[in-house]
Structure 1
């Protein structure tokens, strides 16, 4: 076996929520200084610095999830950036429909497989974090510099697996919680029903699609939430695929942006599902040369690239999951529950 350097770094963060945020900020500070704060996406989101609706968002966060507010404060301190700016960045998809967050998920009754797509400027700067709060379940999550965990893919100590896909909802009223706050809060829940109840019980601003599953359950769930609805569809038999636009009937009137990439990935994925292609083959597919499912082009039409792929098996008494570098045939990280199966967290086979 040949061992090389993993394209995904590893971070252990534990303690209070401010301490966890501080560790995440220090981990991502160089990448944010090098890329994020100079990006068009950052500039676009920072235009909302003085928007009159922002104080209402911050007040709702303080009232509903003060511990997430503490994580954001720690994140800003670790990054060395203004608290207001880091809060706005973590509201980016609520404020701006073209935020560079992508993703594709294949959902099966006891399996979730997912491409994590994001800003190619963060290539080589992303990682996995094992987060152990003093007052909530531990979890492992894919992380981007400058962002809260929870809006990517994650597994928590209760065996709850969540994958997240961007939905480019057009900006609504400033009357709900930011979507990344909600998905961070989901990692503290114990069951899929608790996760759904959390979404239903809070006002929401932006929109996301979630794949939700748990060990030893007969199905997974496809969940779309927006300001107007939380739609839950169990995946009991036939597999499904989800790209970056709402497709549930309950969201049919949602004002949203459907990009060419999202439309093509959805259509191509459905074709491959009909051919009974394996999930990882679907996520590695480049059969649509202009808008492939595996996205590695510098000219990607949404300015997004695949950063990692996760394949989570929920059929046993612990989550067995593999994390792959984009297009890799063998996993770079392999876990059972929250613990690596190998002595080394990194098991590249080249």
Structure 2
């Protein structure tokens, strides 16, 4: 069952509490997994050391969160930092997701399937986080990972959902999970875009971005090669490969699951189906949109679905554990109702 945790204090305190929350799952599953071993192959490399140095230089408070996370997990800091660089060093890290983006006159609607390692089912949470003299946000969190690479809403009404992109070309820069964690410290969508464009990037993601009280809904793809931001003007779907004209021709891995989810979702949008129905679809038995098979082709399952309505005065959103069930959590902006 998806948990609710409320964390506050210094960046180190919040990281340590998050580490304690995920320690059991990390030791029982993560550190013995193929994914962990694949990422740890980069331990001690020049690229890993350079990324750590750039986090300390550009985002010292997030470095403190990582330090606290390692302490709470009772794992070496070097290994925890590297795990939070997994998509920058390994294109097939088990992080997926599918997002439906709907521009509406009353404000954008963003509906998102959070897909990850099936072994973490029952070990994830919605975390309401308040950093001393810093940001306040609510985010889906995985064991052993900092917030900000899933779906989140901040106290200032900034909404972000994140989809994995499997870039083949990366460079020394700030890890993508650190960049999206830093987005949650920004007060607006323009500030978030400025951060992504000005800070050196190692890997990249797709983001859906919106802001309470603003009509705009943005689709953003970024990588070490660049940042593409496009306004979403018609109902759209994004899976796990770059589709923007300026980004799609850079070297990337497009899995069969990602391609089929994109095609299935696009077809359902053409018939004006509800976003929640699209994200629950399993008509393609081999490559469904909603993924709950232990032998999933990408090694990912849907952990939760977030349905976010970005209004003039508030972001009202629900988090579901499984299709057809009542919402597990109801939130307004960064707070559980």
The two structures share one fold, judged by TM-score above 0.5:
yes
From 35, 45, 49, give the equivalent of 1:41: 35
From 276, 280, 283, give the equivalent of 2:272: 276
Query: Is the contact made by 2:67 and 2:77 (CA closer than 8 Å) also made in structure 1?
Result: yes
Show the 5 A alignment for 1:224-303: 224-236=221-233, 238-303=234-299
From 7, 10, 14, give the equivalent of 2:4: 10
From 307, 314, 318, give the equivalent of 1:322: 318
CA-to-aligned-CA distance 1:12-32 (integer Å, 9 cap, x gap) = 111110001000000000000
RMSD (Å) for aligned C-alpha atoms:
0.9
Query: Is the contact made by 1:168 and 1:244 (CA closer than 8 Å) also made in structure 2?
Result: yes
2:46 is the alignment partner of 1:52 = yes
Query: How much does 1:184 deviate?
Result: 0.4
1:83 is aligned to 77
SS of the equivalent of 1:224 reads: strand
The separation in 1 between residues aligned to 2:229 and 2:286, in whole angstroms, is 32
2:138 is aligned to 140
The separation in 2 between residues aligned to 1:31 and 1:340, in whole angstroms, is 25
1:126 is aligned to 124
Query: Is the contact made by 1:96 and 1:171 (CA closer than 8 Å) also made in structure 2?
Result: no
Where structure 2 has 5 or more consecutive residues not aligned to the other structure, the ranges are none
TM-score (norm 1): 0.94
The separation in 2 between residues aligned to 1:254 and 1:141, in whole angstroms, is 30
From 55, 58, 74, give the equivalent of 1:64: 58
Q: 1:12 to 1:222 in 2, by over 3 A?
A: same
CA-to-aligned-CA distance 1:158-194 (integer Å, 9 cap, x gap) = 0111000000011423x21100000000000011111
From 306, 311, 314, give the equivalent of 2:307: 311
Aligned residues: 333
2:335 is the alignment partner of 1:334 = no
The separation in 2 between residues aligned to 1:283 and 1:28, in whole angstroms, is 27
2:193 is the alignment partner of 1:179 = no
Query: Is the contact made by 2:170 and 2:223 (CA closer than 8 Å) also made in structure 1?
Result: no
1:191 is aligned to 188
From 88, 97, 108, give the equivalent of 1:94: 88
The separation in 1 between residues aligned to 2:266 and 2:22, in whole angstroms, is 36
2:57 is the alignment partner of 1:74 = no
CA-to-aligned-CA distance 1:247-285 (integer Å, 9 cap, x gap) = 001113321100000000000000000010010000001
SS of the equivalent of 1:307 reads: strand
Query: Is the contact made by 1:94 and 1:171 (CA closer than 8 Å) also made in structure 2?
Result: no
Query: Is the contact made by 1:199 and 1:230 (CA closer than 8 Å) also made in structure 2?
Result: yes
Moved more, 246-255 or 101-110: 246-255
TM-score (norm 2): 0.97
